[in-house]
Chains A and B, each alone.
Chain A
């Protein structure tokens, strides 16, 4: 088809239409009885209709997958921002920075997906319209086919068949290309979606509910750490509160008032729970044995909290 000499005069539009016509003529030439062409072509039209409808469904499936991923990425971005805020409030600027870096990565994937999503949506619409157009043409062809078969002899029918055939054949070529293009876009999209799934699974975008959310685990560790501190303070308070009672029974009064004052102070310490009622008996016993009476029990390494005034 590509002939330089004539091409210069013909232009792109004419040449493309000639390519389409050549295709139709080639198919027509293969048929012995022109009327046979009609039935054969009609079968192929119906097949193409099925194919284009399946194409619409495929694109829709692909679009929904992208939509799902977009939701996941959005959730990740939101969660990462929360984590960054939490990390900052705990004074962990390094963690906050890491969370924000991942958020920005998730956000850029998200922006990318939005573009792809719009393309898939456009493709889906195009294919839907193409399938409606093809349906209308196939219906018209069927009517024409019945008329030709009923009214004309094989010889007479030739011209009319050629007209109907080249009209529908061009449409079929167009629709066939549309399906191909949609398939290509969908395949690209799926490759991309697969890559994003992998990225999410790797933890780089902080998969929601994923198994490798290290920012969250570090934040959890920090807050677990402060829970431990709280618990320690509570236990200390309990122990200092119970110490004087035991002393009162066995020792002289001298040191016990100082211990009581300490216990009261411990109860007012920032982390002490309002009403310490639970006293771990075992621990109390141990302390009774190992600590000399009158010494503040709370004075253990690593707990540092309660101020000590006076030495009893």
Chain B
């Protein structure tokens, strides 16, 4: 079991079995970011989020668990994701 957060949406508990598929999509997402391929980026992000929503069970809001994996907002631009990865001011505080 692992916990996955979609930013702006909340946390999900996802079965380990689903992890392989998520990792595959995540690799595509990362490649798209590295090659600045906006179309692939949008498609990969959309399927990754869809997968988490489909496979995961929403975590009750009063559970104080940090997530194992965190996914960008559904309407993130590639630029935003880059900033998220480099810890440059996107997370307040």
Q: List residues of chain B with CB within 8 A of the CB of A164.
A: 64
Q: List residues of chain B with CB within 8 A of the CB of A178.
A: 7-8
Tell me if B7 and A137 are in contact (CB < 8 A): no
Question: Interface digits, B67-93 against A, CB 8 Å rule (1 contact, 0 not)?
Answer: 111111100000001001111001111
Q: List residues of chain A with CB within 8 A of the CB of B65.
A: 163, 167
**A170 close to B (CB within 8 Å):** yes
Tell me if A12 and B93 are in contact (CB < 8 A): no
Most chain A CB neighbours (cut-off 10 Å) among B68, B81, B93: B93
Tell me if A177 and B91 are in contact (CB < 8 A): yes
**B5 close to A (CB within 8 Å):** yes
The distance in angstroms between the C-alpha atoms of A69 and B66, with both chains bound, is 43
Tell me if A16 and B84 are in contact (CB < 8 A): yes
The distance in angstroms between the C-alpha atoms of A136 and B22, with both chains bound, is 28
Question: Interface digits, A140-173 against B, CB 8 Å rule (1 contact, 0 not)?
Answer: 1100100000000000000000011011111011
Tell me if A177 and B93 are in contact (CB < 8 A): no
B15-63 at interface with A (beta carbon < 8 Å)? 22-23, 26-27, 29-30, 33, 48, 60-63
Taking a contact as CB atoms closer than 8 A, the residue among B10, B30, B66, B85 that contacts A167 in the complex is B66
Tell me if A19 and B87 are in contact (CB < 8 A): yes
Shortest C-beta distance, B18 to chain A (Å), equals 12
Tell me if B5 and A132 are in contact (CB < 8 A): no
A115-146 at interface with B (beta carbon < 8 Å)? 126, 129-130, 132-133, 136-137, 139-141, 144
Closest to B85 in A: A15
Given contacts A11-B26, A17-B69, A23-B87, contact A140 B64 (CB under 8 A): yes
Taking a contact as CB atoms closer than 8 A, the residue among B8, B10, B93 that contacts A23 in the complex is B93
The distance in angstroms between the C-alpha atoms of A132 and B10, with both chains bound, is 11
Tell me if B85 and A1 are in contact (CB < 8 A): yes
Shortest C-beta distance, B19 to chain A (Å), equals 10
Chain A residues engaging chain B, CB cutoff 8 angstroms: 1-2, 7-8, 11-17, 19-24, 27, 44, 126, 129-130, 132-133, 136-137, 139-141, 144, 163-164, 166-170, 172-174, 176-181
Chain B residues engaging chain A, CB cutoff 8 angstroms: 4-5, 7-8, 10, 22-23, 26-27, 29-30, 33, 48, 60-73, 81, 84-87, 90-93
